[in-house]
Amino acid sequence: MEKRTCLYCHEPMRGRSDKKFCCVQCKSSYHNQSTSSIEAYVRSVNKQLRANRSAMHRACPEGKATVRKEFLKKLGMDFKHLTHTWKSKGGNLYYFCYDYGYTQSSEVGKVLVIQQQHYMI
Ligand SMILES: [Zn+2]
């Protein structure tokens, strides 16, 4: 039979075969650790979403602007993260971070950045 070890301290365990932890302390330490790593991940995504919003705001102070994707990246934009999408009547899909969004521009390497309008919500 395979030797089972505690998921937290990795010490060998005796007792019920479905046990995952050697003691209550190890169980709670393990769950605290995994909760804090999830929270750290959520915080890092939130931070990036705010950075994306800030980059688009700086690139587009007048509410609408065509800019190079590289320029947004230099301002801290990470195109992986967004809060929601919106499709225009013309069928263009916009990717938003809060109240700023972008869509592919017809110009290669550029995007059209817009500030969200009330009719988009
Ligand atoms: Zn343990």
State the distance from the centre of ligand 1 to the C-alpha of 72, rounded, in angstroms: 48
| Whether the predicted pLDDT of 34 surpasses 90 | no
CB neighbour list of residue 26: distance below 8 Å, 6 or more residues apart:
6, 7, 8, 9
Tens of pLDDT, residues 48-59: 999 999 999 999
Model confidence at 76: pLDDT above 90: yes
Alpha-carbon distances of 36 from 21, 30, 40, 43, rounded to whole Å: 19, 10, 6, 10
- 96 closest CA partner among 112, 84, 79: 84
Domain boundary assignment for the chain: 24-120
Distance 13 CA to ligand 1 centre (A): 8
- Give yes or no for residue 1 having a pLDDT over 60: no
pLDDT at position 88 over 90: yes
Ligand 1 centroid to 29 CA: how many Å?
9
What's the 2 CA to ligand 1 centre distance in angstroms?
Answer: 17
